[in-house]
C-alpha cells in the first residue's frame, strides 16, 4: 500500500509542476444586433475586412501599422473572412482598443 501512495504523490507532484497557471486576458467584443436607429448621432464609420493574409479598410488594402494611423475615432465594423484565425482578430483588437471615442464591432 505504501508504494501505491508514493506513486500517487509523485504523479500529483509531476502534474502540478508541469502544468501552467496563466491568467487569460479578456477582450471585450460587441456583437452587431438589430435595433432602433438613432438618427441624431452621426459618427464616422470605417469598414474593415479581415482575412488570414489581407486587411482591407473601406475597400483599400492596408497593413496593421497603417490601420492604427488611419482610424482615430468613430465606429469600426469588422467583417471576418472564413480563413481568419483567432490570433489575427486579437492582434487587430489589441491595436484598436483603449482609444477614446472609438468603438469596435465584430460582425457575424
pLDDT of 13: 92
Angle at the Cα of 90 (from 85 to 92), degrees rounded to 5? 100
pLDDT of 22: 66
pLDDT of 12: 93
Residues with Cβ within 8 Å of 7's Cβ and at least 6 positions away in sequence, in order, are: none
Residue 67, all three cell numbers? 490601420
Angle at the Cα of 38 (from 35 to 43), degrees rounded to 5? 115
pLDDT of 35: 59
Residue 7, all three cell numbers? 506513486
- Whether residue 15 contacts residue 46, with contact meaning beta carbons closer than 8 Å, is answered with no
pLDDT of 107: 84
Show the low-confidence residues of the chain (pLDDT under 50): 40
Question: Cα–Cα distances in Å, from 42 out to 66, 75, 78, 102?
Answer: 25, 10, 19, 13
Residues with Cβ within 8 Å of 34's Cβ and at least 6 positions away in sequence, in order, are: none
Amino acid at each position: 500500500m505504501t508504494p501505491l501512495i508514493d506513486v500517487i504523490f509523485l504523479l500529483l507532484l509531476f502534474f502540478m509542476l508541469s502544468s501552467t497557471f496563466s491568467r487569460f486576458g479578456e477582450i471585450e467584443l460587441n456583437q452587431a444586433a438589430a435595433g432602433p436607429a438613432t438618427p441624431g448621432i452621426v459618427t464616422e464609420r470605417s469598414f474593415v475586412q479581415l482575412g488570414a493574409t489581407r486587411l482591407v479598410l473601406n475597400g483599400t488594402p492596408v497593413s496593421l501599422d497603417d490601420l492604427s494611423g488611419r482610424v482615430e475615432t468613430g465606429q469600426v465594423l469588422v467583417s471576418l473572412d472564413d480563413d481568419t484565425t483567432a490570433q489575427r482578430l486579437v492582434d487587430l483588437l489589441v491595436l484598436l482598443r483603449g482609444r477614446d471615442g472609438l468603438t469596435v464591432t465584430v460582425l457575424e
